[in-house]
C-alpha cells in the first residue's frame, strides 16, 4: 500500500508527512535490507572491539587514566552518537561501549571485597547505563542482553533461592509485553530502543531457560511447576491476544484446535519451562510477523526437544512410535484447520521442474511427455534408489550363497551409531600383524592378505602376497584400510536395540569370502564356535 493512502486512512496528514520527508529525505531514505545491515554491523563490531581494546591496553597499568578514558569515551560517544547517522553512529556507539567496559574494570578493581554476585550486579548496572545513553540499536540490543545475562549470573552466585525462576518468568513476561505493545511503545520518546530490547529479551529468555536442562546446581529451578505454570498462563494470554487481533471467533475450530495444542504442549512440557519459552517466542514471532524471532524460537524448540530426549533415555522403538504418532496428529490438525489434507494451491514454476533450465529445449521437443513430465521426474530417482538397494542385496546374497566360509578371531567393543543403531566394533586379532608389516614398509599396501584355514574353519593370517593363495587350505582376503587401522571385513556388527550383553561373548566373525577376496559378515560365534 502507498504511504499517502495509509496516512490518510489512519487520520494523519499526508501533506505534513510529505513536507517532513522532503526536508529530511536522507533520514527517510530506504533502509538497507537486514542482511546488508548485518554484514556491515558484524565487521564494524569486530573492528570497534579491537580498537577499544587498543585504547584500553594503552592505559592498562594506570587506573586513573583508565577511568578518565572510560568516562571520556562514554560521554563523547553518547553525545556524538546522537548527532550522527548510519555507519558513523554505529561505530562511535561501539567505541563508547568499550569505554563503559573500561569504567566497569576500574570499578571492579577499586571496590574491595566485591563478591561474584555483586560484580555481576555492577555489570548489569553498567549495561543499563549503556542502554540509556548510547543511541545505536545494536548497542542497545547488546546492552539489554548483557543486563539479563549479568542478572542471571548474579542470581546463580547468590545461592539462587528461586531467583532463576523469577528471572525466567520475568524476562519472558517483559519480552511478551514488549512485543504485544511494540507499536504503541515505538511512538514514545524511547521508541527506537523498543525493538532492540524486545529482540534481546526474547533471546535472553531462551538462553536463561536453556540452562535449566544443564546439570548445574546453581542454575536449577526451585519451583519448576510454578515457573512452568506462570509461563503457561503467559502463553495462553498471548494466544488470546493473537485470536482477538486476527478477529477470529473464539469458537471457531481453528482457535479451539490451537488452544488444544497449547494445552497439549503445556501438559507435556510441564517440567521443562525452556520448551514453553520457545513456543512463546514462536507465537510472538508470528504475531508480529518477525521471521528472525520465529527462527530463533523454532531453533530453540528443536534443540530443547533433542536435549530432553537424550535425558529421558527412552528406547528407539518407543521414540519412533511416539514421533510417527505426533507427526500424524499434526498433519491431521493441519487438515482440520485448512479444510483438507492438500492445503492451499500455490502455483509456481516448480510445477514444471526443468522449465527455464538447460533441459527445457529437449523437453519442449518431447511434447507428449509434458503431461507425464512432473510425475516421471520424481519417480525416476525414486525407482533408481529402490533398484540400487535391490541390486546391492542381490550381490551380497550371491556372496553369502557362493562364498567360502571362514572364521576370524576378534575382540569386540560396543558403541551406538548415529542413526544406524547399536553395534559392536569388530577388531580382528590378526590386524595388528598386518599393520606392523605395513607401518614398517616391508610390503606394499596394495597386496592382499592370505590366510591359512585350520580344521575348524578358523583363518590364521599367513602373509601379504600379490599372487594370492598357493594351496587349497589358503584363502585370499582383501584388506580394508581405515586411517592407520587395517581389517579383513566389516568393522562392525549391528544388532537389535538393548541386546548388547548377548553379543559380549562373541569371539569369532563368521565371513563368506568371494572369489575376488571381498567378504560379507554373516554372523558372530562364541568361543565354542557356536552360532550366536
Partner 1 sequence: MRKNPADREATPTLLRQLAQEKLIDGRQLVDALRLIHAHADRSAWRAFADKLLLGIGTGLIVAGAIFFFAANWDAMGKGARIGLASAIHLIAAVAAAKIGLHRPAGRAAAAGAALLIGPALLTYGQAYQTGADAWELFAGWAVLSVPFAIVVRGSAAWAVLSVLVRIAVLFFAEQHGFGADGLLGVAIAMLFADAASYIAALRLMRRDTADPNNQGARGPTLFLLLGVVSAAPSLFVTIMADASVAAVHSGVFLLAAFIAHAAGLVNAVKNGRTQETAIIGLSACLHIGTTFARVMLHGSRLDGPGLFIFGAFILIEATVLAYALTLSLQRSRARQATSEGVTP
Nearest alpha carbon to residue 152 among 141, 168, 140, 139 = 168
User: Closer CB to partner 1, residue 67 or residue 490?
Assistant: 490
Q: What is the distance between the alpha carbons of residues 399 and 117, in angstroms, rounded to a whole number?
A: 69
Q: Which of 282, 121, 154, 120 is nearest to 206 (CA)?
A: 282
Of 138, 115, 147, nearest in space to 34 by CA: 138
The residue (of 50 and 72) whose beta carbon lies closer to partner 1 is 50
d(CA 131, CA 153): 19
The kind and range of the H/E element at 452 are strand 448-453
Specify the residue, 117 or 241, whose C-beta has the smaller distance to partner 1. Answer: 241
Closer by beta carbon to partner 1, 288 or else 476 = 288
Min. distance of Cβ 113 from partner 1 in angstroms?
31
Q: How many CB atoms lie within 10 A of CB 479?
A: 17
Our CB check for partner 1 shows the closer of 299 and 319 to be 319
Closest distance of CB 430 from partner 1, Å: 18
By CB atoms closer than 10 A (0-12, 13-18, 19+), residue 265 is middle
Q: How far is the CB of 491 from partner 1 (least distance, A)?
A: 5
Residue 489 Cβ, how far from partner 1 at the closest point, in Å? 8
Q: How far is the CB of 348 from partner 1 (least distance, A)?
A: 5
Cβ atoms of residues 165 and 223 within 8 Å: yes
CB–CB of 422/414 below 8 Å?
Answer: yes
Query: Do 94 and 48 contact (CB within 8 A), yes or no?
Result: yes
| Residue closer to partner 1, measured from CB, 36 or 216 | 36
CB of 480 to partner 1, least distance (A): 8
Residue with cell 538393548: 498
Q: How far is the CB of 19 from partner 1 (least distance, A)?
A: 9
Nine-digit cell at 269? 512440557
Cβ neighbours around 367 below 10 Å, total: 8
Shortest CB 119 distance to partner 1, Å: 25
DSSP codes, 293-328: HHHHHHHHHHHHHHHHHHHHT--HHHHHHHHHHHHH
Q: How far is the CB of 11 from partner 1 (least distance, A)?
A: 6
Strands of the sheet with 416-417, listed across from one edge? 416-417, 421-425, 492-494
Nearest one of 310, 311, 285 to 299, comparing CA atoms: 285
Looking at beta carbons only, is 6 or 214 nearer to partner 1? 6
Amino acid at each position: 500500500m502507498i504511504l499517502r493512502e495509509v496516512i490518510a486512512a489512519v487520520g494523519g496528514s499526508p501533506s505534513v508527512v510529505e513536507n517532513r520527508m522532503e526536508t529530511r529525505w536522507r533520514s527517510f531514505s530506504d533502509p538497507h535490507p537486514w542482511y546488508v545491515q548485518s554484514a556491515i554491523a558484524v565487521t564494524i563490531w569486530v573492528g570497534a572491539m579491537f580498537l577499544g581494546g587498543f585504547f584500553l591496553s594503552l592505559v592498562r597499568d594506570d587506573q586513573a587514566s583508565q577511568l578518565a578514558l572510560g568516562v571520556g569515551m562514554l560521554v563523547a560517544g553518547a553525545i556524538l552518537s546522537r548527532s550522527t547517522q548510519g555507519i558513523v553512529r554505529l561505530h562511535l556507539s561501539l567505541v563508547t561501549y568499550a569505554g563503559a567496559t573500561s569504567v566497569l574494570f576500574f570499578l571492579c578493581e577499586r571496590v574491595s571485597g566485591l563478591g561474584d554476585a555483586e560484580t555481576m550486579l555492577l555489570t548489569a548496572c553498567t549495561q543499563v547505563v549503556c542502554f540509556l545513553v548510547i543511541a545505536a540499536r545494536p548497542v542497545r540490543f547488546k546492552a539489554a542482553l548483557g543486563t539479563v545475562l549479568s542478572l542471571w549470573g548474579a542470581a546463580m552466585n547468590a545461592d539462587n533461592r528461586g531467583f532463576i525462576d523469577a528471572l525466567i518468568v520475568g524476562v519472558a513476561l517483559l519480552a511478551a509485553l514488549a512485543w504485544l505493545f511494540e507499536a504503541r511503545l515505538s511512538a514514545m520518546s524511547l521508541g527506537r530502543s523498543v525493538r532492540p530490547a524486545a529482540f534481546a529479551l526474547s533471546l535472553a529468555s531462551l538462553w536463561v531457560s536453556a540452562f535449566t536442562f544443564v546439570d548445574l546446581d546453581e542454575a536449577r529451578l526451585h519451583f519448576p511447576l510454578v515457573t512452568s505454570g506462570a509461563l503457561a498462563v503467559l502463553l495462553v494470554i498471548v494466544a488470546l491476544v493473537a485470536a482477538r487481533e486476527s478477529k477470529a471467533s473464539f469458537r471457531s475450530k481453528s482457535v479451539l484446535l490451537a488452544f488444544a495444542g497449547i494445552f497439549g504442549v503445556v501438559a507435556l512440557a510441564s517440567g521443562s519451562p525452556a520448551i514453553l519459552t520457545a513456543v512463546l517466542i514462536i507465537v510472538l514471532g508470528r504475531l508480529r510477523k518477525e521471521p528472525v524471532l520465529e527462527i530463533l524460537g523454532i531453533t530453540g524448540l528443536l534443540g530443547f526437544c533433542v536435549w530432553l530426549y537424550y535425558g529421558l533415555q527412552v528406547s528407539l522403538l518407543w521414540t519412533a512410535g511416539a514421533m510417527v504418532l505426533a507427526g500424524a496428529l499434526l498433519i491431521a490438525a493441519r487438515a482440520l484447520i485448512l479444510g483438507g489434507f492438500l492445503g492451499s494451491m500455490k502455483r509456481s514454476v516448480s510445477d514444471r521442474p526443468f522449465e527455464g533450465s538447460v533441459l527445457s529445449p529437449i523437453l519442449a521437443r518431447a511434447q507428449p511427455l509434458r503431461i507425464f513430465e512432473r510425475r516421471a521426474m520424481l519417480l525416476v530417482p525414486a525407482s533408481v534408489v529402490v533398484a540400487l538397494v535391490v541390486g546391492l542385496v542381490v550381490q551380497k546374497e550371491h556372496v553369502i550363497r557362493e562364498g567360502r566360509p571362514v572364521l576370524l578371531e576378534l575382540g569386540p567393543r560396543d558403541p551406538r551409531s548415529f542413526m544406524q543403531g547399536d553395534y559392536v566394533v569388530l577388531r580382528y586379532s590378526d590386524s595388528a600383524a598386518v599393520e606392523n608389516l605395513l607401518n614398517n614398509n616391508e610390503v606394499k599396501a596394495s597386496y592382499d592378505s592370505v590366510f591359512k584355514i585350520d580344521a575348524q574353519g578358523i583363518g590364521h593370517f599367513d602373509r601379504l602376497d600379490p599372487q594370492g593363495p598357493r594351496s587349497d587350505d589358503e584363502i585370499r582376503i582383501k584388506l580394508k584400510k581405515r586411517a592407520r587401522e587395517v581389517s579383513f571385513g566389516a568393522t562392525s556388527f549391528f544388532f537389535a536395540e538393548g541386546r548388547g550383553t548377548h553379543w559380549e561373548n562373541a569371539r569369532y566373525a563368521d565371513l563368506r569370502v568371494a572369489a575376488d577376496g571381498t567378504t560379507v559378515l554373516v554372523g558372530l560365534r562364541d568361543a565354542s564356535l557356536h552360532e550366536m
